[in-house]
């Protein structure tokens, strides 16, 4: 991980907001909303004037000093670093320098047990950071756990303290939709440069104490980091808000930054990158009306969504690694299910299908044109802290435009009135068609054979099955034809005459889908291509036909042989099944 050794201002970039003169966005709580009863554990947020480094395992100047993992470090915060003794939760940026193996890092209230949640997920050699909000545990401490040895850096930026009634300052107000206030593309913010961001353009009012941002760096030029800090500060703090490991990266991190009356913040970039800033909400200041709405209830972290788990795979909308354009909803457990206007989650994309992003928002409400988690490669695992509004009875939704598995861990909620649903339940589109290669499996007859395109003789003579040119692909409403040898001396389709109505076979795709076909008919035709293709269309699409040579009728013989038996090149057996189901394999 690199950190700025000094401040060398080279470039100054003004961010004037996504749309000049845009109307302010309504806050989370509708006018006239009834005050919610204050739940146990309610608290309000206070920012530190500047983020403070409380741990850095890379240096002996910071305590604790040890490379972490597979173990934990305990950091006492309450009563330290200008954090009061009665703090119930803290907000920190946790960065990790991973050394070798795939790894994850969890941050949680000091306790004897490591929860089944994560805040950072890291590939070998990766440097990454994430915003973390966590309860303070025994002795006013938090624990940081790493699965394998790595270095960690913890920078605290604020804390929550308990309240017993309505208060003015420190209450979270979420925007109805995230608002983009800076997008420097196609231009870069240069090395050791500052961008000034007008968060007031998103509707953040005068008197707000802090703003909640999602900061994205894209098309990075080298390993580096960004730091968000108050506009009034002449120099950036010696901390980071967002880290990336290489050139060409796209990474995002949530940030909670103090703001002054001008409602601007600064973003310092150590190495040049293109920057995107979205505002998701703000915290009230002392001049705002007193209320209980927007007070925070910190929770022990709990997993509320994991599409990888088999028990969350709905047969009608398969889960696992979701497909492009899919949405998954998650209901909110416990009292938060009825009393939360917004929830605080750690949102992770994993097993990604391609470069892409995730967008989170209240369920059954149109999603904003912004992003929360970003990545640049297939197979990535990338987390980010997010605060999102929720919908009464339906919770939150996560959209994956390019496909991934999704994990969400909830760490708390903000008291208030949830949003109302504006749309029906999401209807996910079918996955895009999947071309060959496939693997064909016929239980009891064929363990598995590759299905390829290309020259039919070369493919089948090599022991594979051939995807009949001009027939469809899985994922399409089409008729598929698959041809393979069926000679007297063997061949993949030698025994397909024994398939009977109701027998099933499977086509597995390279991107983790299984399509299941159930036999409906068996036909005999001559070797003319048009007649063979016509036979594959007797069953309505989507269907799959297995095609091979067969004996057929030979009127020159005094007694007819079994017309379905191998082998003659004069006729074809066509065994057809209809598509009955599909699901993901991983």
Q: Reply yes or no on whether the pLDDT at 99 is more than 80.
A: no
Q: Quick one: pLDDT at residue 488?
A: 57
- Cβ neighbours, 10 Å, residue 122: 26
- Note whether 409 and 472 are same-domain residues: no
Average pLDDT of the chain is: 87
Q: Model-level pTM?
A: 0.81
Query: Is 15 in contact with 181 (CB distance < 8 Å)?
Result: yes
Identify whether 44 is part of a domain. Answer: no
153-168 pLDDT tens trace: 999 999 999 999 999 9
pLDDT tens profile 42-63: 999 999 988 899 998 887 554 4
First to last CA, the chain: 33
What DSSP designation does 354 have?
Answer: S
Evaluate if residue 519 carries a pLDDT over 90: yes
Q: What is the pLDDT of residue 563?
A: 76
pLDDT confidence band for 347 (50 / 70 / 90): very high
pLDDT value of position 553: 62
> Residue 145 pLDDT > 70, yes or no?
yes
Same domain for 442 and 314?
Answer: no
The whole-angstrom separation of Cα 127 and Cα 553 is: 70
Task: Note whether 281 and 245 are within 8 A (CB).
Answer: no
**Residue 160 falls inside a structural domain:** no
Domain count for the chain, please give it.
Answer: 2
Rg of the chain, C-alpha, whole Å? 29
Average pLDDT over residues 332-336: 94
Statement to judge: residues 510 and 479 lie in one domain: yes
User: Is 413 contained in some domain?
Assistant: yes
Same domain, 446 and 574: yes
**Which residues does residue 95 pair with via DSSP β-bridges, in sequence order?**
129, 153
The position carrying tokens 């064909």 is 440
11 Cβ contact partners less than 8 Å away, ≥ 6 residues apart: 189, 190, 193, 194
357 vs 236: CA distance, rounded Å: 29
User: Distance between CA atoms of 62 and 49, rounded to whole angstroms?
Assistant: 20
Task: Please tell me the distance from the alpha carbon of residue 567 to that of residue 513, in angstroms, as a whole number.
Answer: 33
Do strands 141-146 and 193-198 pair parallel, antiparallel, or not at all (unpaired)? unpaired
Residues 6+ apart with CB under 8 A from 548: 483, 484, 485, 486, 491, 493, 496, 566, 572, 573
More reliable by pLDDT, 34 or 356:
356
**429, 446, 466 - which closes a domain:** 429
Beta strands, E only, 390-542: 396-400, 405-415, 438-442, 446-452, 465-467, 479-483, 504-509, 513-526
Residue recorded with tokens 């047990």: 113
pLDDT score for 81: 95
Q: Are 388 and 361 in contact (CB under 8 A)?
A: yes
Give the Cα separation of 202 and 278 in Å (integer).
Answer: 9
Buried b (16+ CB within 10 A) or exposed e, 310-349: eeeeeeeebbbbbbbebbbbbebeeebbebbbbbbbbbbb
* pLDDT tens track for 442-488: 999 999 999 999 999 999 999 999 999 999 999 999 999 999 998 75
**462 and 543 part of one domain:** yes
Average pLDDT over residues 22-37: 41
Distance of alpha carbon 303 from the chain centroid:
14
Residues whose CB is less than 8 angstroms from the CB of residue 423 and which lie 6 or more positions away in sequence, other chains included: 364, 365, 366
% of the chain beyond a pLDDT of 70: 88
Regarding whether 470 and 416 lie in a shared domain, the answer is no
DSSP character string of 132-200: EEEE--GGGEEEEEESS-EEEEEEEEEEEEE-SS-BSTT-EEEEEEEEEEEE-TTSPB-TTEEEEEEGG
Q: For the CA atoms of 217, 404, 426, 419, what is the dihedral angle to 10 degrees?
A: -40
Are 418 and 455 members of one domain? no
Can you give the pLDDT at residue 102?
A: 87
For residues 513 and 529, the answer to whether their CB atoms sit within 8 Å is: no
Burial label, 502 (beta-carbon count in 10 A; 0-12, 13-18, 19+)? exposed
CB 364 within 8 A of CB 373: no
Is 151 within the bounds of a domain? no
Residue 534 lies in a domain: yes
In this predicted structure, the answer to whether residue 560 has a pLDDT above a threshold of 60 is: no
pLDDT at 25: 33
Same domain? 381 vs 498? no
* CATH code of the domain in which 574 resides: 2.40.260.10
Residues 513 and 516: their CA atoms lie apart, in Å, by: 10
In the listed set 429, 446, 477, which residue is the last one of a domain according to the structure? Answer: 429
User: DSSP character for 474?
Assistant: B
Same domain, 544 and 444: yes
Least confident of 101-115, 162-176, 377-391: 101-115
* pLDDT of res. 554: 58
Q: Which strands, in side-by-side order, build the sheet including 251-258?
A: 172-183, 274-283, 210-218, 251-258
- 28 touches 203 (CB < 8 A): no
| 376 lies in some domain | yes
- Give yes or no for residue 18 having a pLDDT over 70: no
> What is the rounded average pLDDT of the residues 411-433?
94
In this structure, are residues 496 and 560 in contact, taking their beta carbons and an 8 Å threshold?
A: no
Least confident of 33-47, 277-291, 375-389, 504-518: 33-47
Confidence of residue 316 (pLDDT cuts 50, 70, 90): very low
pLDDT value at residue 559: 56
Percent of the chain scoring above 90 in pLDDT: 70
Band the pLDDT of 399: cuts 50, 70, 90: very high
Distance CA 553, CA 526 (A): 10
pLDDT of 64: 45
* Residue 86, C-beta contacts closer than 8 angstroms, at least 6 positions apart: 78, 161, 162
Look at residue 315 in the predicted model and tell me its pLDDT: 42
Are 407 and 306 spatial neighbours (Cβ–Cβ below 8 Å)?
A: yes
Residues 369 and 447 in one domain: no
More confident residue, 488 or 529: 529
Domain assignment of residue 367, yes or no = yes
Residues 362 and 447 in one domain: no
Q: Cα torsion for 84, 44, 369, 132, to the nearest 10°?
A: 30
**22 within a domain of the structure (yes/no):** no
Candidate from 35-44, 234-243, 405-414 with smallest mean pLDDT: 35-44
Query: What CATH number has the domain bearing residue 328?
Result: 2.60.120
Pairing between β-strand 543-550 and β-strand 479-483 as defined by DSSP bridges: parallel
Query: Which domain does 525 fall in, by range?
Result: 438-584
Q: Can you give the pLDDT at residue 31?
A: 36
The last residue of a domain, from among 363, 398, 429 = 429
pLDDT for 118: 86
399 and 444 inside one domain: no
């Amino acid at each position: 991980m690199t950190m700025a050794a000094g401040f060398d201002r080279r470039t100054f970039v003004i961010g004037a907001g996504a749309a000049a003169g845009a109307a302010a966005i309504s806050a989370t709580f509708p006018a006239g909303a009834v005050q919610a009863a204050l739940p146990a554990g309610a608290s309000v947020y206070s920012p530190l004037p500047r983020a403070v480094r409380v741990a850095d395992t890379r240096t002996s100047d910071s305590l604790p000093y040890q490379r972490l993992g597979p173990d934990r470090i305990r950091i006492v915060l309450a009563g330290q670093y200008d954090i009061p003794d009665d703090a119930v939760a803290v907000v920190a940026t946790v960065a990790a320098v991973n050394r070798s193996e795939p790894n994850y890092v969890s941050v949680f209230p000091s306790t004897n047990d490591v929860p089944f949640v994560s805040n950072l997920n890291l590939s070998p050699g990766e440097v990454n950071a994430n915003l973390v909000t966590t309860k303070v545990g025994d002795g006013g401490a938090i624990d940081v756990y790493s699965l394998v040895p790595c270095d960690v850096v913890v920078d605290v930026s604020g804390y929550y303290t308990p309240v017993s009634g309505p208060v003015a300052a420190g209450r979270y107000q979420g925007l109805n939709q995230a608002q983009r206030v800076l997008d420097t593309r196609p231009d870069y913010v240069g090395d050791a440069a500052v961008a000034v961001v007008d968060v007031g353009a998103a509707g953040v009012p005068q008197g707000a104490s802090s703003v909640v941002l999602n900061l994205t760096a894209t098309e990075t030029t080298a390993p580096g980091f960004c730091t968000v800090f108050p506009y009034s500060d002449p120099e950036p703090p010696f901390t980071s808000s967002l880290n990336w490991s290489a050139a060409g990266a796209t990474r995002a991190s949530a940030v909670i930054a103090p703001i002054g009356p001008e409602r601007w913040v600064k973003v310092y970039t150590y190495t040049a990158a293109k920057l995107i800033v979205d505002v998701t909400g703000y915290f009230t200041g002392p001049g705002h009306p007193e209320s209980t709405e927007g007070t925070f209830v910190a929770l022990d972290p709990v997993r509320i969504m994991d599409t990888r788990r088999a028990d969350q795979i709905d047969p009608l909308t398969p889960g696992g690694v979701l497909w492009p354009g899919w949405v998954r909803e998650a209901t909110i457990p416990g009292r938060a299910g009825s009393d939360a206007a917004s929830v605080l989650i750690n949102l992770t994309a994993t097993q990604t299908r391609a470069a892409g992003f995730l967008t989170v928002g209240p369920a059954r409400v149109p999603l904003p044109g912004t992003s929360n988690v970003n990545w640049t490669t297939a197979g990535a695992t990338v987390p980010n802290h997010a605060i999102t509004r929720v919908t009464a009875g339906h919770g939150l939704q996560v959209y994956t435009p390019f496909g991934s598995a999704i994990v969400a861990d909830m760490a708390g909620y903000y008291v208030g009135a949830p949003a109302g649903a504006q749309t029906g339940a999401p209807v996910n589109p079918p996955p895009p068609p999947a071309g060959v290669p496939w693997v064909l499996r016929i239980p009891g007859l064929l363990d598995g054979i590759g299905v390829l395109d290309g020259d039919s003789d070369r493919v089948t003579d090599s022991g594979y099955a051939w995807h009949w040119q001009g027939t469809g692909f899985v994922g399409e409403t089409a008729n598929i034809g698959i041809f393979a040898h069926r000679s007297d001396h063997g061949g993949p389709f030698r025994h397909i005459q024994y398939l009977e109505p109701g027998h099933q076979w499977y086509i597995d795709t390279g991107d983790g889908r299984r399509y299941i076909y159930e036999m409906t008919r068996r036909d005999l035709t001559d070797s003319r291509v048009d007649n063979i293709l016509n036979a594959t269309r007797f069953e309505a699409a989507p269907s799959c036909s297995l095609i091979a040579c067969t004996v057929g009728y030979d009127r020159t013989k005094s007694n007819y042989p079994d017309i379905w038996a191998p082998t003659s090149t004069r006729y074809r057996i066509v065994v057809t099944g209809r598509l009955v189901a599909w699901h993901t394999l991983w």
